[in-house]
Amino acid sequence: MPCLACTVAQQAYVLSTANAQVSAAKGSSRGGDTGAQRQQSGVQPAAAEQQQQQAGSKRQKRQQQAAAQQAGEQQREQAVQQQAQQAQQQQQQQQAQQQGQYLYEGKFGLPLVRKRLSYSELLRSVRLGEVQEVHFFTTHDDSTTMEGPCLVVLADGSVAQGHIPDGDFRITYALETHGVEVKRLAPAPTAAQLAPPKPLLSGQAAAAFVKWSPYFLVGLVYLATSYVRWKKGDMEDRIKLRKKAEEDARRKAQEERQDQVLSEAADMARLGFDLPKILEKLQATGLEVDRQAVAEVVAQVAKEEPSTDTEPKQIYNENAEEQLKNLAEFRRQMEEDMAEGDPQAQAEQMLKMKTAKIRKARDPAKARKQKEAQKQLKNIKLMVSDKDEDIFFDDVAGIGDAKVELQEIVDFFQKPERFRQSGSRIPRGVLLCGPPGTGKTLLARAVAGEAGATFIALNASEFVEMFVGVGASRVRDLFAQARAAAPAIIFIDEIDSVGRIRGGAKGNDERDQTLNQMLSEMDGFDNDSSVIVMAATNRRDILDPALIRPGRFDRIVYVPLPDYNGRIEILQVHLNRRPHSADIDYHELAFETNGYSGAQLANLVNMAATVASQAGRDEIQNSDLGKALEFERLGPERPAYSEAARRRIAAMEAATALACTLLPAIEPVTLCTIVPREKHPLGQTVVKANEDRELTGLFTKRYLEEQLLTVLAGRAAEELIYGPEEMSTMQQRRLIDARRIVQKLVVSAAMTPNPAIGPRTISVPRRFGSSLMQAVTRFVPSELHSEADREMEALLAEAYATVKQLLVRNCAALDSLMAALLEKNTLGGEEVQALVEQHAAAEDLQRRDAEQAAFL
């Protein structure tokens, strides 16, 4: 079956052959004519007439021959056209036949057949002798490898499509061995390539466009000019408006000059000048003077009542002290006015530290008495701002050890002679380190309040500017202010923003110069200067060593998170400032807020006050603090899930709460909820915190093993209820926690009896930013890695089997907890405890009661 490309080539060959024959015939006739002419030029003059007759007969013959040749050319052209039409009809018939058998793809022209053979099936058919021909497709003329799509002609006459992978030699060997003919399938031209391009416009449309486009453009220009003329108005109107505006301006200026003349005339009339003298002085100034208007003004002034003030008006100041004072005020005002437009003066003002908050020194005894009096006057509203409020050690709770260390600074300000007699030197700087929100700034204010010193507070980021040298100048200005206001305490908050290690990739010229100036200023303190620098940071590890060496920051006071008693004191301080009920359980609340800073506790009390106000109460109750703690711990509520999702979450949380209640080493449950929250969208089970364990960070092997059971309880419950095939991805986070627990047992803590691992740790602690992680070193052999992985897999499998057995034994308790959660959405610790004791297995309850005392 001939392809479309072959048919087109045949048509081109026929056309070229016919054209060559026509050109050859024309060339022979031209050659005959030129030969006849050369013969005629050689005939003698005597036979001219005979030659003319012969020439006329020859001319007729040539015309006849030309007519015959033209008729032959027309016949040949008709024959060529008929052949082209026949070839086109034949091609259309072939395309129709092929379209009935193949589906053509428009991009490459590759025929796609319905039957397909995989590569393995193609090899098998070749080896069995079922393949007759293989036509492979390629767009490169010099390609000799068989890769990509191909057409396979089978022995039964059917055609299938296959694909030969790149670089596979098996098909080549099979085809050569079994004598299968291989042909290259050239891409056929598509219909878009054969069809001639159609012009955008026809001949008539193009002629019409060329003929009428000038008229259209002229009309468009006319419309544009008409629109501009209508928009801007006529030129004459604009000239008239301009003249009218100029006349109005001249008239207004003339009226202003006339008013000025009349005002001057009135002033001179009040001074006692008569009308001729006034007119003479006004005309001497060159102003236009209206005599009648001036006369009216003078007459009006003469009618005014004389002043009853008998004392003469003082025009000059004869007091020398007031003159000097006024002169100094005038000079100061002139300097300020000049500084507004003077860049040098503006630069000098920028170099000064003007953002520091300065609280002047006060007598601590008087300030304390005033504060106590203010506390007693509860019904009187005193306008006392926080900026001027005195802070003492009694107002700072939860950080007793830090207050004891800072008492030495207070004693230095109150009893400096005792230090001078003993020859001791007071610390020049005190650095307060600790987590955010622990009260470092409040503690510095308390030191200033107890010592009765001037307190200058600022943030270290205020030193740094985009101009190099500004920070150093501000440091000099700050310490100059402190020396002038001594005794004083300079408090620099977040000193790590300017006190970072100098140089390196993170170095900065402006920050380095600022730090250098600060170091030199702290070295320049005398023992009697009565100026102490206090700073606060929570990134001591990045500070420059020259800054925290002895002689600059001599004392480094660590301000930790408040402990159990500290949290009670902080809660009492914040609740005493607000109306609250007497039934608040401080001890239980402090136990639940383990790890909270002072700022978080203050926010908790404020949130409880908000909850009470939303409920319409004027005082804070214990339930308000519980709701605020739940909101702080879990976040705001989110839209509820579907009923199927709620049931899955209820199964997970019920199993977790059941395991926590039955396992002796785990603390009791305080809250179990399936309400979606921002921080815990899949529910949460909260247990009571163990203060000693959280503070020391010590975890026993028994506690970690039972903690692993509680983490895997949700997955085990989902498998028992829904089956292995219907488990969901809801347990991903808990599986990660389980992996961390077994890593701590095997890798970092070596709590495994496996002799291959032994009592040694495989990982070492490494600090990444603010977190501490365990990293396995490269010196650990690969066999130990494999053994540790096997041990962790065994611990996970054993714990998963154990918790499944626990849930199977206590399926009644699990069902009751799920039903209660689906009904109420949230269960308290007492409700969980009651349901478990009512429906749990007796052996698990007895084991818990017998072993629980050893852990709690």
Are the C-beta atoms of residues 390 and 368 closer than 8 Å to each other?
A: yes
Rounded Cα gap, residues 348 and 417, in angstroms: 40
Of 494, 521, 569, 653, which residue is the catalytic one?
Answer: 653
Return the residue matching tokens 């020396």: 483
How many CA atoms lie less than 13 Å away from 665 in the CB half-sphere?
A: 13
Rounded Cα gap, residues 661 and 849, in angstroms: 11
Rounded Cα gap, residues 646 and 683, in angstroms: 9
Residues paired with residue 767 on neighbouring β-strands, in sequence order: 772
Relative to beta strand 159-164, strand 826-828 is unpaired
In Å, how far are 177, 551, 613 from 600, measured between CA atoms?
A: 84, 35, 20
Rounded Cα gap, residues 387 and 374, in angstroms: 16
How many other CB atoms are found less than 10 A from the CB of residue 400?
14
Rounded Cα gap, residues 85 and 768, in angstroms: 83
Angle at 488 between CA 483 and CA 494, to 5 degrees: 105
- Cβ neighbors of 555 (< 8 A, separation 6 or more) are 405, 427, 429, 430, 431
Are the C-beta atoms of residues 361 and 481 closer than 8 Å to each other?
A: no
Burial zone of 839 (CB within 10 Å; 0-12 exposed, 13-18 middle, 19+ buried): middle
Are the C-beta atoms of residues 397 and 573 closer than 8 Å to each other?
A: yes
3-class DSSP state of 148: strand
Rounded Cα gap, residues 541 and 546, in angstroms: 13
- Record the tokens describing residue 704, joined without a space: 């970690």
- Record the tokens describing residue 109, joined without a space: 């022209």
- Cβ neighbors of 578 (< 8 A, separation 6 or more) are 605, 609, 619, 620
Is residue 653 part of the annotated active site? The answer reads yes
Rounded Cα gap, residues 56 and 753, in angstroms: 132
- Cβ neighbors of 595 (< 8 A, separation 6 or more) are 561, 689, 694
Rounded Cα gap, residues 506 and 517, in angstroms: 19
- Cβ neighbors of 255 (< 8 A, separation 6 or more) are none
- Record the tokens describing residue 191, joined without a space: 């219909």
Are the C-beta atoms of residues 129 and 84 closer than 8 Å to each other?
A: no
In Å, how far are 5, 183, 247, 663, 752 from 702, measured between CA atoms?
A: 84, 76, 103, 10, 12
Helices 782-809 and 842-851 cross at an angle (nearest 10°) of: 120
DSSP secondary structure string, 648-693? HHHHHHHHHHHHHHH-TTSPPEEEEE-S-BSS-TT-EEEE---HHH
- Record the tokens describing residue 301, joined without a space: 């002034």
Please name the amino acid found at residue 150: C
Burial zone of 430 (CB within 10 Å; 0-12 exposed, 13-18 middle, 19+ buried): buried
Give the closest residue to 460 by CA, choosing from 522, 534, 523.
534
Are the C-beta atoms of residues 331 and 452 closer than 8 Å to each other?
A: no
CA trace torsion 621, 626, 627, 633 (10° rounding): 150
Q: Which residues are catalytic?
A: 653
